[in-house]
Amino acid sequence: MGETETDDEDGSGGTETESEDVLVCPECGAEAVESERGETVCPDCGLVIEEERVERGKEWRAYSSEEEEEKSRVGAPTTQTMHEKGLTTEISRGDVEKSERRETMRRLRKWHERARAEGTERTLRFGLGEIDRMSSALGVPDGARESAAVILRRAQKDELLPGRSVEAVASAAVYAACRQAGIPRSLDEIADVSRVEKDEITGTYRYLSRQLGLEVPPADPVEFVPRIASELDLSPEVESRAVEILEETAGIGVGKSPKAYAGAAVYLAARLLGEEVTQEKVSDVSDASVVTIRNRYHDQAEALGVDPDLDT
DNA sequence: CATTCGTGAAGACGAAT
DNA sequence: ATTCGATTTCACGAATG
């Protein structure tokens, strides 16, 4: 509901109707110009007349039918993909009359603005652009893209950028966002579209994930089961049996490759239920080698106390 | 004959100094 | 930034059905 059209039309001593385009500075009367970022500033005194309008762009969409993972989904209400949400600092006019001082004043203001704009905003803008570019190249959904933008913003706010290339941070942010969203897009593909080496991305990613304390839960093997099972044309019984296996052997899976673990469970479940599937096919669809599938599947069989060859 | 199994060397990853 | 421990992967040959 709320059409937030609360216009500031309250003409306090308002002269007459002001045109949409031309605004005059209430202090010095000069006509204001528009800066690069869409603000309207007085060219003489540097007063910001109209700040950048707040755009609440895309709404924040609920992610998926996920469990109570909502707590890690802390997004900002306004879209984070845009730079400069409207918080600016400007040097206001003191009372200076002499044109000499005024000129110094202007220069100072310019320097200040430039320093701020170029120091942080420009890199941020560039990083956001990189995030967008890589995201579309990889087909990353919007939710994860926004998460990446949030991560980049936080990194910049915490002054984590100095000494590090923005591209690396942007790449790491995309990677982290993908992992948080449970998207299989992994390091190699990101390194492909990024301009930095994979080593730097991983290093930056580690650094970020520690400094920012961003939680990347180790992928739950159960997540992979439906995809694997359906891609192998296995029955739903196998699928649910695989999930059972994963739950019962939850202890020994830590530290191992989750995908391989899921694949092994599917394979074991299929074998227990008498459905024919080769290890190689399982390894194909679960992105794990045959031998790893084999190892995990043996682990699970042993942990369950069943012998791999007993058919029901 | 196909599938599965076991092993050792090589690379990759994460943690710690 | 490098070193270390664990894990995964690859490549081979053997065993099993």
What the block records as the tokens of A307 is 């012998």
Q: For residue A239, what pLDDT band results from cuts at 50, 70 and 90?
A: very high
Q: For residue A8, what pLDDT band results from cuts at 50, 70 and 90?
A: very low
Residue A44 has pLDDT above 70, yes or no: no
Q: For residue A140, what pLDDT band results from cuts at 50, 70 and 90?
A: confident
A70 touches strand B (CB under 7 A): no
Global model pTM greater than 0.85: no
A288 touches strand C (CB under 7 A): yes
A291 touches strand B (CB under 7 A): yes
Question: What are the pLDDT digits (tens) for A93-134?
Answer: 555 556 667 778 787 777 776 666 666 788 899 999 999 999
A30 touches strand C (CB under 7 A): no
Residue A64: what pLDDT? 34
CA of A310 to C1' of B9 (A): 34
A164 touches strand C (CB under 7 A): no
A298 touches strand B (CB under 7 A): yes
Residue A132: what pLDDT? 93
Closest protein CA to C1' of nucleotide C7, residue: A256
A294 touches strand B (CB under 7 A): yes
CA of A80 to C1' of C7 (A): 38
Residue A20 has pLDDT above 60, yes or no: no
Whole-angstrom distance, CA of residue A235 vs CA of residue A286: 17
Residue A298 has pLDDT above 80, yes or no: yes
For residue A293, which nucleotide's C1' is closest to its Cα? C8
A29 touches strand B (CB under 7 A): no
A289 touches strand C (CB under 7 A): yes
Residue A185 has pLDDT above 90, yes or no: no
A215 burial class (0-12, 13-18, 19+ CB within 10 angstroms)? exposed
A308 touches strand B (CB under 7 A): yes
Nucleotides of chain C in contact with protein CB (under 7 A) are 1, 6-11, 17
Residue A60 has pLDDT above 50, yes or no: no
